[in-house]
């Protein structure tokens, strides 16, 4: 192929409606507890799958990039487990096992759409006796039956006692099963705390407290120890898995506020998990407005998490309950998160309160996200504390304009020194020399999994560039596409010159035809012939550089540029 560069530079005006980060976590909790978001009491497998895909498509259309799928509710799970029974909200009957691999299906459908998929797990809360009884006929027994010695009744519901070492062993075996068998991008701990200060753990406190710690410190240590052991186990199986949690929204109170706190009220020292390197991100459940200190609580989290990722949990459900929030409360909070240094994004509780088009307020919020706040897709925020990787740029990038569309092709680059896999590619517009990787307006495609992309356009003067993103979401430098024109075959003997609007061609051999192309490859004219010479009227062409292809009777063609 003969390659030509064109000199026309298209100038694009950048109009920024709202400042949108290039990297931002846009997550949502997909709740299976009571089937709230999915599967909504639908037990037909094909309909379940269809509905899940519809949910994911709606989230993609609003440019979400992370799904936190509830894989465990109350001692029941959405994966093929030999330790806890299959989730009744999915099977419809506590005696049944899963009829398909639900977690595998959810992961696969998320990854098809370039969505990260995190497993939402609930370790300690295992439900009421009546809920546990629904699994009495299941081949896999509920934990209250398997291990009653680990369970404590508190306010009519059972909880695993975090102070018993065997509780940690039981949970680590359960989650080892999950992480070993499924390609979740992350795990997200929920309710990883004590249910209240009056939790009845006097027996475990007296038995398993060799350092004679005060009970408050002992309780925090129990949770911290479990988190540390889990992190080590998870990373040993999958070093790339992200370990996160959704703690109570207030870590420790700031002056002027009296909220329930993670640290003091429920012994959840989530910042210690970050400071000790045993957690990758937190999603504090900040489900209130400035009356309860939304902004100062953000500052507390940032100041105590050692530079690791903070994603703020938002509460769109309060638009539809007795709080009657306006949509603007949520959109204002998005702006505050973006304006606050050290934040990595937002997460919405829950999916229905983002996509339910039967609710006027939810529909309004969805429209605001889709058309304004999440107008452009965002890449996942890299975790630089886990190591910075540097992907190599795509190679042999080319573009060709054929039949009203650009065909952009490239080859996968060699892996970096860490052998970090390429996750996807982005395609940008370029002026042929420079590429602005921070301008949303210049992005043609954010996430391309193939090494070819087709872009329909009537504008035949575009120029493209391609970058690679690795599995850690670091982006390579851009490679600007070379322009493929017409194919150049063997040259024959010929004469070609342009004068006074006429392209004159001649050859000792018969000329079968002459084709005229724009410099970027689009065919503009086709003139058949059976003569040895011809003159072609080019007055209809504007001034510029063109390519002529002469096809001779012996099958030989030749190509030459000319200037009008």
Question: What share of the chain in percent tops pLDDT 90?
Answer: 84
Of 46-60, 86-100, 277-291, 446-460, least confident by mean pLDDT is 446-460
Query: Given this model, what pLDDT does residue 543 score?
Result: 80
| Residue 471 burial by Cβ neighbours in a 10 Å radius (0-12, 13-18, 19+) | middle
**Domain ranges for the chain:** 3-12+386-484, 25-123+160-378, 495-563
Residue 352 confidence (pLDDT) above 80: yes
Q: What is the CATH number of domain 3-12+386-484?
A: 2.60.40.10
**Which residues contact residue 38 at a Cβ distance below 8 angstroms, ignoring those fewer than 6 apart?**
30, 31, 32, 48, 51, 52, 55, 351
Of 164-173, 537-546, 550-559, least confident by mean pLDDT is 550-559
- Taking CA atoms, 247 is separated from 46, 251, 268, 330, 478, in Å, by 35, 8, 7, 20, 39
Residue 393 confidence (pLDDT) above 90: yes
Residues 245/190, Cβ–Cβ less than 8 Å: yes
Class of domain 25-123+160-378: alpha beta
Strands (E) located in 281-421: 281-282, 309-314, 345-348, 395-402, 405-411
- Taking CA atoms, 475 is separated from 114, 389, 428, 478, in Å, by 16, 9, 13, 9
440, two tokens: 């949303």
Q: What is the CA radius of gyration of the chain?
A: 31
pLDDT band per the 50, 70, 90 thresholds, residue 236: very high
Average the pLDDT over 26-31 and give the result.
Answer: 98
Query: Given this model, what pLDDT does residue 403 score?
Result: 84
Query: What distance in Å separates the CA atoms of residue 117 and residue 187, rounded to the nearest whole number?
Result: 9
Residues 209/259, Cβ–Cβ less than 8 Å: no
pLDDT band per the 50, 70, 90 thresholds, residue 520: low
Fold adopted by 495-563? Immunoglobulin-like (2.60.40)
Query: Given this model, what pLDDT does residue 485 score?
Result: 53
pLDDT band per the 50, 70, 90 thresholds, residue 5: very low
Between these two residues, 73 and 559, which has the higher pLDDT value?
A: 73
Query: What distance in Å separates the CA atoms of residue 546 and residue 514, rounded to the nearest whole number?
Result: 13
Query: Given this model, what pLDDT does residue 499 score?
Result: 86
Task: Report the SS3 class of residue 11.
Answer: coil
User: What DSSP state is assigned to residue 128?
Assistant: -
Query: Given this model, what pLDDT does residue 279 score?
Result: 98
Pairing of strands 482-484, 395-402: parallel
Query: What distance in Å separates the CA atoms of residue 192 and residue 184, rounded to the nearest whole number?
Result: 19
Query: What distance in Å separates the CA atoms of residue 190 and residue 73, rounded to the nearest whole number?
Result: 10
Q: Which residues are bridge partners to 4 per DSSP?
A: 483
Query: Given this model, what pLDDT does residue 544 score?
Result: 78
Tokens 């065919």 found at: 523
Residue 128 confidence (pLDDT) above 50: yes
Reported as a single tens digit per residue, the pLDDT across 296-309 is 999 999 999 999 99
pTM above 0.95, yes or no: no
In sequence order, what DSSP letters do the residues of 209-271 get, joined into one string? Answer: -TT---HHHHHHHHHHHHHHHHHHHHHHH-TT-EEEEE-BS-SSPPTT-----HHHHS---HH
Residue 9 confidence (pLDDT) above 70: no
145, two tokens: 């039956």
Do 3-12+386-484 and 495-563 fold alike per CATH? Answer: yes
pLDDT band per the 50, 70, 90 thresholds, residue 487: very low
Residue 488 confidence (pLDDT) above 70: no
């Amino acid at each position: 192929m003969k390659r030509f560069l064109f000199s026309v530079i298209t100038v694009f005006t950048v109009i920024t409606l709202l400042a949108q980060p290039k990297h931002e976590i846009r997550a949502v909790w997909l709740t299976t507890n009571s089937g709230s978001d999915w599967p909504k009491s639908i037990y037909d497998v094909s309909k379940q799958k269809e509905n899940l895909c519809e949910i994911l498509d709606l989230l993609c259309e609003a440019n979400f990039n992370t799904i936190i799928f509830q894989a465990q509710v109350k001692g029941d799970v959405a994966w093929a487990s030999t330790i806890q029974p299959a989730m009744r909200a999915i099977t419809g009957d506590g005696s049944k096992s899963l009829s398909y691999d639900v977690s595998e299906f959810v992961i696969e459908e998320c990854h098809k759409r370039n969505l990260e998929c995190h497993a939402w797990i609930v370790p300690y809360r295992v439900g009421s006796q009546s809920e546990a009884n629904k699994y009495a006929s299941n081949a896999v027994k509920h934990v209250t039956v398997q291990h009653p010695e680990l369970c404590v009744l508190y306010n009519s519901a059972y909880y695993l006692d975090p102070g018993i070492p065997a509780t940690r062993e039981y949970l680590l075996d359960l989650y080892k099963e999950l992480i070993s068998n499924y390609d979740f991008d992350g795990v997200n701990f929920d309710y990883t705390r004590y249910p209240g200060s009056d939790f009845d753990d006097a027996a475990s406190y007296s038995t398993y407290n060799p350092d004679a710690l005060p009970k408050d410190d002992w309780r925090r240590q129990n949770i911290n120890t479990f988190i540390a052991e889990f992190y080590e186990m998870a990373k040993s199986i999958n070093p790339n898995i992200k370990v996160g949690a959704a703690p109570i929204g207030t870590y420790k109170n700031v002056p002027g506020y009296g909220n329930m706190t993670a640290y003091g009220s429920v012994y959840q020292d989530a910042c210690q998990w970050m400071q000790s390197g045993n957690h990758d991100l937190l999603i504090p459940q900040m489900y209130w407005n400035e009356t309860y200190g939304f902004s100062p609580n953000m500052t507390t989290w940032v100041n105590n998490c050692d530079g690791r990722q903070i994603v703020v949990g938002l509460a769109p459900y309060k638009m539809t309950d007795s709080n009657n929030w306006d949509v603007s409360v949520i959109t204002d909070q998005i702006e505050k998160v973006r304006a606050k240094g050290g934040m990595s994004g937002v997460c919405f509780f829950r999916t229905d309160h983002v996509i339910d088009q039967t609710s006027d307020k939810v529909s309004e919020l969805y429209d605001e996200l889709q058309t304004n706040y999440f107008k452009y897709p965002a890449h996942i925020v890299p975790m630089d504390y886990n190591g910075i990787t540097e992907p190599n740029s795509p190679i042999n990038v080319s573009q060709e304009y054929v039949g009203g569309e650009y065909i952009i092709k490239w080859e996968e680059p060699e892996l970096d020194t860490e052998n970090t896999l390429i996750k996807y590619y982005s395609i940008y517009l370029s002026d042929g020399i420079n590429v602005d990787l921070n301008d949303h307006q210049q992005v043609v495609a954010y996430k391309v999994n193939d090494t070819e992309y087709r872009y329909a356009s009537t504008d035949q003067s575009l120029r493209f560039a391609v970058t690679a993103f690795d599995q850690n979401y670091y982006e390579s430098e851009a490679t600007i596409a070379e322009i493929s024109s017409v194919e150049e075959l063997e040259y024959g003997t010929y004469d070609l010159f342009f004068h006074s609007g006429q392209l004159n061609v001649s050859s000792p051999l018969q000329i079968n035809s002459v084709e005229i192309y724009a410099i970027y490859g689009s065919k503009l004219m086709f003139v058949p012939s059976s003569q040895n010479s011809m003159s072609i009227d080019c007055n209809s062409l504007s001034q510029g550089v063109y390519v002529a292809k002469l096809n001779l009777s012996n099958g030989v063609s030749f190509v030459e540029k000319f200037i009008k």
